[in-house]
A = this chain, B = another copy of it.
Amino acid sequence: MSAYCLATYRCFDEKADFHKKATGIAVGLTVGSWTELPEAQKAQMEKHLGKVVAVEVHEPAPGQPPSERYADIQIAYPDVNFSRDIPALLVTVFGKLSMDGKIKLIDLNFSPGFMAGFAGPKFGMQGVRDLLGVHDRPLLMSIFKSVVGYELPALREQFYLQAAGGVDLIKDDEILFENPLTPLEKRIEVCLEAAEQATKETGQKLLYAVNLTGPTFQLAEQAKKAIRAGANALLFNVLAYGFDVLQALSADPEINIPIMAHPAMAGATYPSPHYGISASVLLGKLMRLAGADLVLFPSPYGSVVMPREENLAIKQVLLTNDLHRDYAYGAASDTDLKLAASFPVPSAGIHPGLVPLILRDFGGDVVVNAGGGIHGHPLGTIAGGQAFRQAIDATLQGITLRDYANNHPELKAAIDTWGIKE
């Protein structure tokens, strides 16, 4: 009995027969031709044939231009046609088709059988919380301010100031590559030294996500080098290397530290309404399937914006156990499909005054991630971290930021600078 992966497309066309188009996709991207096959061969080929699951045509509303006519088309692709890896799935469902007019891949549902080939995040949200020993509040992460061109002492100083403010995670800048000023192993050494110093003062653990870069075929070795140097987390520019590389790194038993997926280059793919791949697939489902323990994506609040509903769709697929979703096609599953959840990290433009909003949108299972909102604090970087922690504490206790700020000068200074958005 066959199983199928499902792809949903949004397809714009002023006058296409979308039902015919759907059939063309289902046949063209699987067995190639169908109606002209002899009946005996049809019986044999049936299990390789794609199926049209749904075609929902949306005619333009009165006043809308004809170019707004679109259909959401869902096609089921037999698992038997492709190998159990993300490149094979993507090339099947959106290889040639991506170039066929105004068409966007808006959803992807993995069959139980396909998913069974993936272990998902090795740590996941729970594992990251366990490493940090923090289970009762959102985590706080901070980003280096300036790193390119700086030497080790400057990096160490920045690291210490962030850590001393009470953040849980610190990530490298994604544009910090192997370089003579702050090479990987030295960087890990001085940053973890700074972490240790801060931990003595704050009593708090800390993960440092060091940027994993360089030639693809050397990444696993580079990750292990980082681990030997003491690294306790990795940052990875997934889209510059491909989901399959993330999957392989995540599945490697010797790479036993969390991997944080950075969305660099994702904007080349998700924002257009007419082309590309939706954010919830690109930065959600595929990241989790490939094993990202934490996933950064543009927040709906700040400078690099993404619509709120797209953000919540990402959150939904990172956290909940329905990646495969029940569907009409294919065998029922007796596999355990509970991939660990990936920690959502909505990023960019975050300041303490946004914390109540973030927690309302994302609940407690979120990493509050800030750069300028920490380094730009008028009382300095340490106070910047403290202000965020205060904002989180206040929100969890149901106290308004303004009230809590009365006897928390760091939070007060942050609010005076950036305001509160509710």
Contact = CB atoms under 8 A, between A and B. Distances in A.
A268 B94 contact: yes
A148 interface: yes
Contacts of A178: 83
Interface in A267-297: 267-269, 271-272, 274-277
B31 A264 contact: no
A196 interface: no
A95 interface: yes
Contacts of A83: 177-179, 213-214
A97 B303 CA distance: 11
Given A149-B45, A248-B216, A99 B242 contact: no
B214 A177 contact: no
A255 interface: no
Given A91-B264, A174-B91, A146 B31 contact: yes
Given A90-B265, A267-B100, A215 B248 contact: yes
Interface in A130-147: 145-147
B240 A175 contact: no
A384 interface: no
Given A99-B298, A241-B244, A94 B265 contact: yes
Interface string A26-49: 000111110000000000110111
Nearest to A180: B80
A215 B244 contact: yes
B242 A177 contact: no
Interface residues of A, number: 74
A108 interface: no
Given A175-B81, A240-B95, A248-B215, A271 B264 contact: no
A100 B302 CA distance: 11
A288 to B, nearest CB: 19
A149 B215 contact: no
Interface in A48-87: 48-49, 80-83, 85-87
Contact of A96 (B91, B220, B264, B276): B264
Most B CB contacts (10 A, CB to CB) among A91, A214, A271, A277 go to A91
Interface in A358-376: none
Nearest to A94: B265
A94 B119 CA distance: 31
A103 B271 CA distance: 10
Contacts of A213: 83, 85, 87-88
Contact of A268 (B105, B173, B217, B298): B105
Interface string A205-217: 0000000011111
B267 A97 contact: yes
7 contacts: A82-B175, A87-B216, A95-B237, A99-B271, A100-B304, A216-B242, A272-B272
* Interchain residue pairs A-B with the least CB separation, the first 4: A32-B146, A95-B264, A98-B267, A48-B149
Given A91-B174, A96-B304, 13 more contacts: A30-B149, A31-B146, A44-B149, A81-B179, A87-B213, A90-B240, A95-B265, A98-B264, A215-B244, A216-B216, A217-B217, A217-B248, A267-B275
